[in-house]
A and B are shown apart, each in its own frame.
Chain A
Amino acid sequence: MALTQMALDSLDFDATVALAEKVAPHVDILEIGTPCIKHNGIKLLETLRAKFPNNKILVDLKTMDAGEYEATPFYAAGADICTVLGTADLGTIKGVIKAANGYGKQAQVDLINVADKATRTKEVAALGAHIIGVHTGLDQQAAGQTPFADLALVQALNLGVTISVAGGVKAATVKQVKDAGAGIIVAGAAIYGAADPAASAAEITALAH
């Protein structure tokens, strides 16, 4: 069984809350995407936290520096998972893990654009990272890339860390991703681009669970 995560990537505050209202009953984790959090700030997290007590919330901070300082206010405001970039200094990654542990929450290391993914995954697992994010970015998807090969690579390391997979996953590929060892499956466009986002979210979650 894999958890499902809905990536909220609109920039508009009200549109983000409205979409979350539609999909929240049908997914496990609500993600506030990076452009969305930079646009709207911590107030959006506070709003979603109050409205959706039954969902976990991931804030895609993609922290690159000042790890503990940057992540702490978001855990304090109710984030369950914050992300830190795999291309960051290990001191930064350590800081986010420390902040997460201080609140009994989780830190996710995003492998987006990391050159040596195996080495970095081992390093951050040793630091105590809770989740490894295999992530083919939007700009990389536009260039035709997918996350499947990287998922197989990280899974083969067999480190016992939860693996999250993001990068154009849709209903047709959910089962493949789950069988390949993903613990969390992220869907964005496949849900918000659907005519009926709630139905699409329910379909993806049924396949993942």
Chain B
Amino acid sequence: MAKPLIQVALDSLDYDQTLALARQAAPYVDIIEIGTPCLKVNGLALVKAMKAAHPDKLLFVDLKTMDAGYYEAEPFFKAGADITTVLGTADMGTIKGVVDVANAYGKQAQVDLINVKDKAKVAAEAAKMGAHIIGIHTGIDQQLAGQTPFADLAALVAQGLPVKISVAGGIKQSTVQQVVQAGPSIVVVGGAITGSNAPETSSREIRELVTSA
């Protein structure tokens, strides 16, 4: 089985610190994610700076779009985003807008299943609409309440949809191999790298664990 791509989620609010963390993690990851709070504070300028600093990495902008799909996502694809996200709780018209604009730029749209009640149904609808990636996502506030993404990941993989599957939600060194074995295309790591005293070392550890899983 092919190894999943590794995505680092950058959730600092500070512009310079975000770029510094990306530099430390970049050698060991495939995808650099600008997290939602970070994007809302820093705007499109950070997307451009990140793309310029890491032209060889895929750039993921976690827009979590809820309305005006095409309009909101287009400038980000134009500025160098390779993947943007749209919420699974959005209207299907909004999801279609993000899928359409991603296709117009030869890029990818990810549907985030965070807090979606009927995940199997929305995943099937989004896949039918042409979504490129479905994201299983246990949010920060849900993690604080003790939730994990493992059961949802297994259910989505078992559904066998023709999409890539991304998984996020507190994944760390001790759990990453379990996640890889469940068969996702993309594994997202945030706090285990960005909250580490040595982000570069933690990134390397995650890479080694994924490679040997």
Set A35, A87, A138: member contacting B115, Cβ < 8 A: A87
CB–CB B37/A70 < 8 A: yes
Query: A5: CB under 8 A from chain B?
Result: no
Q: Please measure, in the bound complex, the distance between the C-alpha atom of A66 and the C-alpha atom of B142, giving whole angstroms.
A: 9
For A191, what are the chain B residues with a Cβ–Cβ distance below 8 Å?
A: none
Roughly how many angstroms separate A152 CA and B93 CA in the complex, as a whole number? 25
Asked if A39 and B43 sit within 8 Å, CB to CB, the answer is yes
Asked if residues B68 and A41 are in contact (CB atoms below 8 Å), the reply is no
Chain B residues closer than 8 Å to A70, beta-carbon distance: 36-37, 40
Partner of B141, one of A73, A91, A115, A137: A91
Question: Would you give the shortest CB distance from A194 to chain B, in whole angstroms?
Answer: 20
Residues of chain A lying within 8 A (CB to CB) of residue B142:
65, 89, 91
Q: Quick check: which of B69-77, B124-132, B202-210 contacts chain A, the rest being far away?
A: B69-77
CB of B50 closer than 8 Å to a CB of A: no
Q: Can you name the residue of chain B whose Cβ is closest to the Cβ of A59? A: B40
CB-CB under 8 A from B97, the residues of chain A are 139
Contacts A65-B114, A87-B115; is A113 near B37 (CB within 8 Å)? no
Asked whether A65 and B69 contact (CB < 8 A) given A70-B37, A91-B145, the answer is no
> Is A78 part of the binding interface, using a Cβ–Cβ cutoff of 8 Å?
no
**Known contacts A69-B140, A92-B139; A87/B87 CB under 8 A:** yes
Bound form: Cα–Cα A64–B37 in Å:
10
A70 to B42 CA separation, bound complex (whole angstroms): 12
Judge whether B40 and A66 touch: CB under 8 Å: no
Contacts of B40 in A (CB 8 A): 37-38, 41-42, 61, 70, 74
> Does any Cβ of A come within 8 Å of B2's Cβ?
no
Decide: B75 and A11 in contact? CB cutoff 8 A.
yes
Tell whether A17 is near chain B: CB-to-CB under 8 Å: no
Q: Chain B CB within 10 Å — which of A73, A89, A139 has the most?
A: A139
Contacts of B46 in A (CB 8 A): 41
Contact, CB under 8 Å: A66 / B37? yes
Q: Would you give the 0/1 interface string for B94-108, flagging 1 where the beta carbon is closer than 8 Å to chain A?
A: 100100000000000
- B90 at the A interface (CB under 8 A): yes
Instruction: Report whether B68 and A64 are in contact in the complex, using a CB–CB cutoff of 8 Å.
Output: no
B163 at interface by CB-CB < 8 Å: no
Q: Of A35, A38, A73, which is within 8 A of B13 by CB?
A: A73
Contact with A along B52-94 (1 / 0, CB 8 A): 0000000000011011110110011000000000010111011
Q: Is the CB of B36 within 8 A of A66?
A: yes
Q: Which residues of A contact B71 (CB under 8 A)?
A: 35, 138
Are A140 and B115 within 8 A (Cβ)?
Answer: no
A18 sits at the interface (CB 8 A):
no
List the B side residues contacting A41 at CB < 8 Å: 39-46
User: Is residue A55 contacting chain B, with contact meaning CB distance below 8 A?
Assistant: no
Of the candidates B11, B13, B115, which one forms a contact with A88 in the assembled complex, judged by CB atoms under 8 Å apart? B115
Q: Judge whether B158 is part of the interface by a CB distance below 8 angstroms.
A: no
- The answer to whether B36 and A137 have CB atoms under 8 Å apart is no
> In the complex, what residue of chain A is closest to B46 when comparing beta carbons?
A41
Residues B68 and A35 in contact, CB atoms below 8 Å apart: yes
Q: Which residues in A have their C-beta under 8 angstroms from that of B94? A: 137, 139
Interface presence of B1 (CB below 8 A): no
Q: Are B139 and A65 in contact, CB atoms less than 8 angstroms apart?
A: yes
In angstroms, Cα B140 to Cα A65, docked, is 6
The answer to whether A73 touches B41, judged by C-beta atoms less than 8 angstroms apart, is yes
The complex places the Cα of A202 from the Cα of B92 at a distance, in Å, of 36
| 5 extra A-B contacts, CB within 8 A, seeds A69-B37, A87-B115, A137-B91 | A39-B44, A64-B64, A85-B89, A87-B87, A89-B114
12 contacts between A and B (CB under 8 A): A38-B40, A38-B43, A39-B44, A40-B44, A41-B44, A43-B43, A62-B67, A66-B141, A85-B66, A112-B66, A139-B68, A140-B67
